[in-house]
Amino acid sequence: MLGTTTKAAARRTGRPPRITRDQVAEAAAKLGPTGLTVQAVADALGVTRAAIYHYVHDVEELRRIAAYSPVSPFAVPADGHTSWQDWLRDFARAARAWRLAHGERYLPLTFDLPETSWFLGVVDRAVARLVDAGFPERHARQAFQFLAGVVWINAQDELGTGGPAGDPDGRFEREIDWVIVALEHELEELR
């Protein structure tokens, strides 16, 4: 036994491994919401909890940086040759899946974290798709904001109460279809 060290003892001696906030966010995102604790992230990175607390104040902040990490399960639709309607439907499905995957009814939608900068690029792409379709930029931003609100509220309903009885996926698809139809009518009026 003399001369052998455990992992825990090896971590306490010498200089601790250097980690970054990006590594903390990535490790937290990979763990997912159900297994997310400060200790689990520390274990995944081979550091102490104190090293994690250097980058986050509490487990709530850890959850937010995990949710908004670029490695989170948000599959941004490809720009390809799809119609603006199909692109928005794909975005809505991806956003809802991401929101449901994080499993917290009131996960704040925030842009004050460095990890959220990638999401602003998604917003810009969505607005650009709508502008290319013929919407004035102001209308495009409002349309995207409305769509994102419908997605967010739908997911909150499902997370909070399981949503209304019936088929939650079917209800979601109907809600998105209503938004798309309304946008198509608005675009016709703008032309």
Q: What is the mean pLDDT of each run of 10 residues along the chain (191 residues)?
A: 48 64 86 84 92 88 77 66 88 85 61 64 86 93 91 83 72 94 92 81
- Indicate the pTM of the whole model: 0.67
**Domain coordinates in residue numbering, the chain:** 7-67, 84-190
What was the pLDDT predicted at 153? 85
Tell me how far apart the terminal alpha carbons of the chain are, to the nearest angstrom: 81
**Residue 190's CB: how many other CB atoms inside 10 A?**
10
What was the pLDDT predicted at 86? 92
What was the pLDDT predicted at 163? 56
Looking at residue 5, its amino acid is: T
* Dist CA 94 CA 101 (whole Å): 10
What was the pLDDT predicted at 42? 94
User: What would the DSSP string read from start to end of the chain?
Assistant: -TT---HHHHHHSSSPPP--HHHHHHHHHHHTTTT--HHHHHHHHTS-HHHHHTT-SSHHHHHHHHHTSTTSS--PPP-TT--HHHHHHHHHHHHHHHHHHT--TT------SGGGHHHHHHHHHHHHHHHHHT--HHHHHHHHHHHHHHHHHHHHHHHHH--SSS-HHHHHHHHHHHHHHHHHHHHHHH-
Number of residues that this document lists for the chain: 191
Could you tell me if 102 and 33 are in contact, meaning their C-beta atoms sit under 8 angstroms apart? yes
What was the pLDDT predicted at 92? 92
Residue 73 structure tokens: 């399960």
What was the pLDDT predicted at 75? 65
What was the pLDDT predicted at 108? 58
């400060």: which residue's tokens? 38
What was the pLDDT predicted at 109? 58
What was the pLDDT predicted at 43? 93
- List pLDDT tens digits, range 103-116: 665 555 565 666 56
| CATH domain 7-67 topology | Arc Repressor Mutant, subunit A (1.10.10)
